[in-house]
Copies of this chain bind each other. A is one copy, B any other.
Amino acid sequence: MGEILLHQAYPGLFTPVETGIFFARQLPPLRFGARQRVVRANEQVSQAVYLTDGYVGRYRTDQLGRRQFLALQIPGDFIDLPSYTLGHLDHDIDSFSTVTVRPLPHAAIRQLQENHPEYGNKLWRITLIDAAVQRYWVFRIGRLMGRARLANLFAEILVRHFARGLSGVDGCPLPINQTDLAEACGITPVHANRMMGELRAEGICDFAHGQLRVRHFERLVQVGQFEWDYLYLPPETDRALAALAGTAGSPPITHARHETGQL
């Protein structure tokens, strides 16, 4: 229930001072109950909301009204920054838990951009990482089988909490139910249930009462084939995770030797 600050959510990107600058422009917080529409698709909005507390999910529905979650957002996510540039979203965002958001008027963003040209790029960066996360969801759902999909998603949620200092690697809050989880993984609730049973039986993790408890982070990462390079975490965080996962961590960034390929 504590309000996560901008520099905590995006370490290395924003300083405490900048958090203050942004904070000063924010409108009073808005609170939503669980299972409410937080941002409506196709609705022109004039402010971007920052999720300071609680959990929300983006989704689209098919012709039969069945949901597919496109992303899960955790405290500290700037959830509808795209609306600043695009004006509206193409999908809905609903709350899972009670949430608190702080709206930042588009006009304020524009002003901040003018006074501090680098802020535009910082916000841009946030949306680029979101896009990278989106891409990884395609990989997860497209290539992994049921159990691995779940493990992989759990690992993502956990690591994203960890990177913000919101948890260790032994578990984190995830106030959603099994059906939501299934809709995030592109499987049925029944199957999600069975696969989670396996993960639990194998002593890897268990998920109940809105809490994810990870018994064996290393194996969670293995079973889920999880890599976190796509999260573009600060080097310290990456190293810490590598140590905890018993892996090499994200691959090193090399330098192009010359203009590549050619025919």
Contacts from A to B (Cβ < 8 Å): 30-33, 36-46, 58, 60, 62-63, 66, 68-71, 82, 85-88, 90-91, 98, 103, 113-114, 117, 120-121, 124-125, 127-132, 134-139, 141-144, 185-186, 225, 229-230, 232, 250-256, 259-263
A120 to B136, CA, bound (A): 25
B128 engages A86 (CB within 8 Å): yes
Known: A139-B70, A143-B186, A261-B37. A128 touches B82 (CB 8 A): yes
Most chain B CB inside 10 Å of its own CB: which residue of A38, A44, A125, A131: A131
A131 engages B82 (CB within 8 Å): yes
Q: Which residues of B contact A262 (CB under 8 A)?
A: 30-33
> Secondary structure at chain A's binding surface: helix, strand, loop or mixed?
mixed
Residue from B39, B85, B136, B232 in contact with A86 in the complex, judged by beta carbons closer than 8 Å: B232
Q: Which residues of B contact A261 (CB under 8 A)?
A: 30, 32-33, 36-38
Q: How far is the CB of A149 from chain B (nearest CB, A)?
A: 10
Known: A32-B261, A113-B121, A134-B135; 13 extra A-B contacts, CB below 8 A, are A31-B263, A32-B262, A42-B252, A43-B254, A44-B253, A44-B256, A58-B135, A60-B139, A70-B135, A86-B128, A86-B129, A120-B124, A134-B134
A32 engages B263 (CB within 8 Å): yes
Q: Which residues of B contact A38 (CB under 8 A)?
A: 260-261
Residue from B66, B98, B132 in contact with A263 in the complex, judged by beta carbons closer than 8 Å: B98
Known: A128-B82, A143-B186. A42 touches B138 (CB 8 A): no
Q: How far is the CB of A229 from chain B (nearest CB, A)?
A: 5
A108 to B230, CA, bound (A): 26
A63 to B221, CA, bound (A): 12
